[in-house]
Amino acid sequence: MVEEPMTAITNEVLRRLSGVSGTRAGTISEALVRHLHAFILEVRPSTVEWEQAIRFLTEVGARCTPERQEFILLSDTLGVSTLVDAMNYTPGEEGTESTVLGPFYLSDPPVVANGAVIDGGCLGTPLLVEGTLTDVEGHPLSGVQVDTWQADGDGFYDVQHDGGVRYLRARLESDANGNFRFWSIVPSPYPIPDDGPVGAMLREQGRHPYRPAHVHFRFAHPNIATLVTHIFLAGDPYLDSDAVFGVKDSLIEELDSCSPEEAPEGHQPGRTFARLRRTFVLIPAGYELA
């Protein structure tokens, strides 16, 4: 039987990969070629459209700097980051769910003590975050490294401003009862950086760039599977249309409104403040891959 010319092209590329067939590199390369060729056969791009596609990817790469990762934004806005996370962190019925890391995580945030104020002087409603870490049987987990980060009242992370000043991000440690606590401000919804090629893609797709208000967390300890997650605020208008597909119902929390006298010892915001209380259930190291 004579092969269709287009099938012949795909088969010839696959034939050249036969030397690595059965290896991880071979599996990835073969699947890439099969799916990419099927995509091209379905979409049938004109030569001009294919040039545009190459230009788009070139612009995504050119937009990347140590402070800005346009490829992460592309992966996030196409739902790929969430898909990869869903396959790599499986907390079962009991564990707290994970969500995307995003591009604003820093591996060397300021180290602070429990109860610290990390608002960097930003304007906004004071927010007291009180977390408890337990294992799946409800035992408190002490000595866990807790990283947190969030946007300021204008929707920007510290790293998006020049100057290298770090605020609204910190590293602390859970205490003997598995508790941690810090003061920040109530976060607002914000647009992901949309002044580059990924923003242009969203507009072309008729989509907005907003993420619902959230606080990021990353919990790490040698005995637990590292959990990267957020807490989203109930009632946010973007919960159903997060630009990066990160929302999970189990991660949405109501804030309590508290009077100044309810502030625990250590810091007095001197005004009405909001409180976020949440228990995070962490799974043992090695159990994240079901």
> Which residues sit at the interface with ligand BEZ, rule CB under 6 A?
73, 76, 100, 102-104, 192, 211, 244
Q: Which is nearer to ligand BEZ, 91 or 102 (CB)?
A: 102
Question: Do the beta carbons of residue 256 and residue 125 sit within 8 Å?
Answer: no
Strand order in 227-233's β-sheet? Answer: 169-173, 145-149, 214-220, 227-233, 252-253
Residue type (1 letter), 203: R
Minimal distance, residue 87 CB to ligand BEZ, in Å:
18
Q: Which is nearer to ligand BEZ, 70 or 221 (CB)?
A: 70
- Count H helices, E strands: the chain? 6, 12
Minimal distance, residue 246 CB to ligand BEZ, in Å:
7
Query: What CA–CA distance (Å, rounded) separates 290 from 280?
Result: 19
Q: Which residue is at the shortest CB distance from ligand BEZ?
A: 102
Residues 6+ apart with CB under 8 A from 188: 124, 151, 153, 155, 213
Q: Which is nearer to ligand BEZ, 192 or 282 (CB)?
A: 192
In sign, the C-alpha dihedral spanning 269, 274, 275, 280 is: negative
Length, in residues, of the chain: 290
Minimal distance, residue 124 CB to ligand BEZ, in Å:
17
Query: What CA–CA distance (Å, rounded) separates 125 from 275?
Result: 10
Residue type (1 letter), 57: L
Closest CA to 226 of 73, 82, 91, 69: 91
Q: Which is nearer to ligand BEZ, 171 or 211 (CB)?
A: 211
Minimal distance, residue 242 CB to ligand BEZ, in Å:
9
Q: Which is nearer to ligand BEZ, 104 or 183 (CB)?
A: 104
Question: Do the beta carbons of residue 247 and residue 232 sit within 8 Å?
Answer: yes
Minimal distance, residue 243 CB to ligand BEZ, in Å:
7
Q: Which is nearer to ligand BEZ, 103 or 131 (CB)?
A: 103
Residue type (1 letter), 78: L
Minimal distance, residue 10 CB to ligand BEZ, in Å:
34
Q: Which is nearer to ligand BEZ, 117 or 244 (CB)?
A: 244
Minimal distance, residue 244 CB to ligand BEZ, in Å:
4
